[in-house]
Each structure stands twice: as C-alpha cells, then as structure tokens.
Amino acid sequence: MTIKLVVCIGTRPEAIKMFPVVHALEADGRFNVEVWATAQHRGMLDQVLRVAGITPTVDLDLMRAGQTLTDITTGVIARFGEMLETRQPDRVIVQGDTTTAFAASLAAFYRKIPVGHVEAGLRTGNIHSPWPEEANRKLVAVLADLHFAPTKRAFDALRAESVPADRIHLTGNTVVDAFLSIKARLPQFHEATAEIAQRLPPLGSNQRIILLTSHRRENFAGGMERIATAAARLAMRDDVFIVFPVHPNPHVQDVMNARLAGHPRIALIPPLDYVPFIYLLTRCHLVLTDSGGVQEEAPSIGKPVLVMRDTTERPEGVEAGTAILVGTDTDRIVREASRLLDDEAAYMRMSRAHNPFGDGHAAERIVEHIASAHMAKPSIRAVS
Ligand code: UD1
Ligand code: UDP
C-alpha cells in the first residue's frame, strides 16, 4: 500500500520548513509524494525550492503584486481545490500559519481529505497579533486531524483547545532540521558565501554585523517606521554595520528605502537566498527581527535575537534566554541592542543559551506519525 500525499507550499518559510519533510517522505517507500506550490510567493519560494532540489508537480503561480488576503484565499481555495478534485490524494500536509496553509486546509476539508499540520499549536492568544497568522493557524487546527507540535507548549495549547491527545505529536520544529543540513554543507556553497562578500563593503576590525529583517503586516501601521529609525540610530555607532535584506513587499520596501537608503553603515539588500542568509547568520553578532523562522534558527548558533514585536508565539526562546521581546518602540530597540553590543556578560548569557525549538530530527518523526496514522487506520484514504 502506498500513501498518496500532497505537500502544500506557498511562501519562503513554508518551503524552508517543509523541505526536510519532503526529503524524508521521498526517501521512504511507503509514500507517493507530490509537492504542490500555490506560489503565494514567487522569487523567494523558487530560490528555496532550487536549493532543496524540489520541483513542484503542480504550481498554481498565484503571486501578484499588491495581492490581498482575499486574492490569496480565494485563489487557493478555487485552484488548489480543483487539483484535489482531480488527483484525490490520501492526505494533504500544510505548514504553519500562512494564508496558503489555511486555504489549502479548507479546500481539502471540503473534499473530506485529511489534513496534517506541521508546526501546529503556536499561539499568542491575541487574534490580531500576528495578523492574520494567529487566526490562520487556529483555523488550520480546527480542520486538521494530525497535528505536529514543535514544542511541549504548542502541544499543550492544542490540548487546551480540545484537540485529542492522540492526534497531536511532539516533533520539534523542522526549521532546525533545515538549518543544520544547510550549515553542515556551507563549505560546499562557495558561490553563496562569495555573494555575501560581494554585497558588503570591507568591514573595519571593530565592526560587528547586526542582521535585521522585518516584514510583519501588523507592523505596517507605524512599526516599520519606528524600526527604521532604530536602525538609523544604531548605525550612528562606528562599531556596527547593519545588513538588512529587505522583504519585497512594497509596504516594507517603500518605508525602508525612503528612510535608510544610502546610509554608510546600513546595507539594504534584496532578500537573500537561503544559503547566503544562513551564512550571514553565522557571521553576524546579533539579530533584530520580526520573523518567526529567524527567531528559531539563530539560537542554533548562539546568536542573540531581539524580537521586534509586541507578542510572540515562540516564548520558548524568551524563556530559554535566546531572545528578548522588544516590541517596535525605537528607544527600547536601541537600548537593548546597545546593551548587547556593550555588555559582554549580557551578550554571552544569551549566546550560550540552548535552542529550545528542535534537535534536527523533526522530519523523521513527522514521517513516522503520518505512516502510523494511515497504517493503523486503513479507512483513511490510501491507494493499494
Ligand atoms: C507572507 C505570509 C506571512 C509570512 C511571510 C513570509 C500571509 C498572510 N502572510 O507574508 O505569514 O510570514 O509570507 O515571508 O500568508 N513578494 C514578491 N516576491 C516574493 C514574495 C513576495 O515580490 O517572492 C511581494 C509581492 O508584491 C507580494 C507581497 O510581497 O504581493 C506580499 O506577499 P504576501 O505573501 O501577500 O505577504 P507577505 O508579507 O510576504
Ligand atoms: N530568510 C532567507 N533570506 C532572507 C531572510 C530570511 O532565506 O533574506 C529565511 C530565514 O532563514 C528563515 C525564513 O527565511 O528560515 C524566514 O522567513 P520570513 O521571515 O519571511 O517568514 P516567517 O518565518 O516570519 O514566517
């Protein structure tokens, strides 16, 4: 019996967090696996798929400049749904909290196709933060029948929402699998590391790199401006150099280009491919970000993270001491970053903390749980 799976991917972080799962499924004879891309993202998705050696069987090519949440949701429900109708897989696997993950889950649910959710159970408890992701992941939890929780806290959050315990599996986060596999291969990726060297000016011996990323929708109303002002203030120090791969969303581009372009100690660069980004993460001193995935990767190599959000669904990092939630208040960002730059002991405390998000074996566990669910219950659709 072969279990016919569709792995759904829409954006850059979904591709990063799903490629270890896809590789593990492909290596396992019990599965017939297809990757279907909604392409909610285009360029940023394609570069990860290239590195991972994945060619989607189906590509809906949905991304449009200025796309709205409605555009993505209706596009995925209609087009992903049509493909499900034709191909009738035994299960759909989605990841995280994007609009792709939610809409693909709904399309599968409407056809009574079971849904497995990778990175299930992250919650802030505030439906508006992150927006719309907190709602997306809660909606996926209602629709899915297999929930892969990265941490004990995520497991408990699902239990608190009455998800049966035997449908939740504690696996770790696949982002750590992805990160470790790329980090181990960094010496082979000469071009990627050379790309970083080309993009940055020669740094003074005293200059430390601050890696900055920002893209959250709830930061569009003023947060982006405050983050930009904080970056400009930090870059007044001659012992730092800020590298900022700017998300292609025009809301981010416009603010950051208007406020930070041309600064001698800030490099505004296009989004980096995954390998050069990981290389840069290994080279930087500290990270300022509102990204989910970056919060989870940085502790694997001891890089302190200042999370520029008011809430986090990843409090494990804060509790483990790898991250500080600083919000988007300019003074607070500058104060906390300056402390880490000036206070060696404070820096080392954060740098030595362990990564609470995973051990690099999440994908293997997920694959075993999917197999068990179908073997134990042949009534779940499976082809002979
Ligand atoms: C989406 C996800 C967010 C995730 C983020 C990861 C939703 C609602 N949001 O937000 O949860 O954290 O991806 O980055 O699902 N664009 C390009 N090229 C690309 C990708 C995006 O040009 O490869 C531009 C396009 O103009 C696009 C815009 O960015 O319209 C916004 O993309 P969208 O996926 O709607 O939102 P993100 O902010 O990327
Ligand atoms: N990333 C990348 N290039 C960049 C910035 C980030 O490859 O220029 C990777 C990063 O390693 C992480 C992921 O993108 O794994 C995070 O994606 P993003 O911040 O867009 O989304 P989120 O994780 O917040 O949903």
Say if ligand 1 is within 6 A of residue 295 CB: no
Please give, one letter per residue, the 3-state secondary structure of the chain: CEEEEEEEECCHHHHHHHHHHHHHHHCCCCEEEEEEECCCCCHHHHHHHHHHCCCCCEECCCCCCCCCHHHHHHHHHHHHHHHHHHHCCCEEEEECCCHHHHHHHHHHHHCCCCEEEECCCCCCCCCCCCCCHHHHHHHHHHHCCEEEECCHHHHHHHHHCCCCHHHEEECCCHHHHHHHHHHHHHHHCHHHHHHHHHHCCCCCCCCEEEEEECCCHHHCCCHHHHHHHHHHHHCCCCCEEEEEECCCCHHHHHHHHHHHCCCCCEEEECCCCHHHHHHHHHHCCEEEECCHHHHHHHHHHCCCEEECCCCCCCHHHHHHCCEEECCCCHHHHHHHHHHHHHCHHHHHHHHHCCCCCCCCCHHHHHHHHHHHHHHHCCCCCCEC
The two tokens of residue 354 are 């362990």
Distance 291 CA to ligand 2 centre (A): 7
Per-residue pLDDT, 376: 72
What pairs with residue 267 in β-bridges?
Answer: 243
- Compute the distance between CA of residue 334 and CA of residue 357 in angstroms, rounded to an integer: 27
Residues 6+ apart with CB under 8 A from 136: 97, 98, 99, 101, 102
Hey, which of 189, 274, 284 would you mutate to test ligand 2's pocket, going by the most ligand atoms within 8 Å of its Cβ?
A: 274
Distance 96 CA to ligand 2 centre (A): 13
Give nearest CA residue, ligand 1 atom 25.
65
Say if ligand 1 is within 6 A of residue 355 CB: no
What pairs with residue 33 in β-bridges?
Answer: 5
The label of the residue with tokens 């019990």 reads 30
Residue type, 132: P
pTM strictly above 0.75: yes
Atom of ligand 1 nearest to the CA of 44: 23
Distance 73 CA to ligand 1 centre (A): 13
Give nearest CA residue, ligand 1 atom 37.
249
- Compute the distance between CA of residue 110 and CA of residue 339 in angstroms, rounded to an integer: 52
How many C-beta atoms lie closer than 10 Å to residue 4's C-beta?
17
Per-residue pLDDT, 133: 98
Atom of ligand 2 nearest to the CA of 293: 23
Ligand nearest to the CA of 68: 1
Give nearest CA residue, ligand 1 atom 14.
12
Helices 344-352 and 330-342: angle between axes, nearest 10 degrees: 90
Say if ligand 1 is within 6 A of residue 40 CB: yes
Buried b (16+ CB within 10 A) or exposed e, 195-210: bbeeeeeeeeeebbbb
Q: In 3D, which of 31, 9, 203, 227 has the Cα closest to residue 100?
A: 9
Per-residue pLDDT, 384: 37
Q: In 3D, which of 60, 139, 44 has the Cα closest to residue 94?
A: 139
Say if ligand 2 is within 6 A of residue 297 CB: yes
Say if ligand 1 is within 6 A of residue 44 CB: yes
Say if ligand 2 is within 6 A of residue 291 CB: yes
Residues 6+ apart with CB under 8 A from 217: 130, 131, 132, 251
Distance 269 CA to ligand 2 centre (A): 14
Say if ligand 1 is within 6 A of residue 99 CB: yes
How many C-beta atoms lie closer than 10 Å to residue 232's C-beta?
17
Hey, which of 102, 213, 242 would you mutate to test ligand 2's pocket, going by the most ligand atoms within 8 Å of its Cβ?
A: 213
Write out the catalytic residue numbers. Answer: 97, 119, 133, 215, 217, 247
Phi and psi angles of residue 97, each rounded to the nearest 5 degrees, phi first: -140, 25
Distance 49 CA to ligand 2 centre (A): 14
Say if ligand 2 is within 6 A of residue 245 CB: yes
Per-residue pLDDT, 232: 98
Q: In this structure, what is the dihedral angle of CA atoms 179, 185, 188, 189, given to the nearest 10 degrees? A: -10
Classify the C-alpha dihedral 270-272-276-277 as positive or negative: positive
Distances in whole angstroms, Cα of residue 244 to Cα of each of 82, 176, 272: 39, 22, 10
Ligand nearest to the CA of 214: 2
- Compute the distance between CA of residue 137 and CA of residue 313 in angstroms, rounded to an integer: 11
Per-residue pLDDT, 353: 77
Does 270 sit behind a cis peptide bond, omega within 30 degrees of 0 on the bond before it? Answer: no
- pLDDT tens-place values along the chain, 384 residues long: 899 999 999 999 999 999 999 999 999 999 999 999 999 999 999 999 999 999 999 999 999 999 999 999 999 999 999 999 999 999 999 999 999 999 999 999 999 999 999 999 999 999 999 999 999 999 999 999 999 999 999 999 999 999 999 999 999 999 999 999 999 999 888 888 888 888 888 899 999 999 999 999 999 999 999 999 999 999 999 999 999 999 999 999 999 999 999 999 999 999 999 999 999 999 999 999 999 999 999 999 999 999 999 999 999 999 999 999 999 999 999 999 999 999 999 999 999 878 999 999 999 999 999 999 998 765 555 443
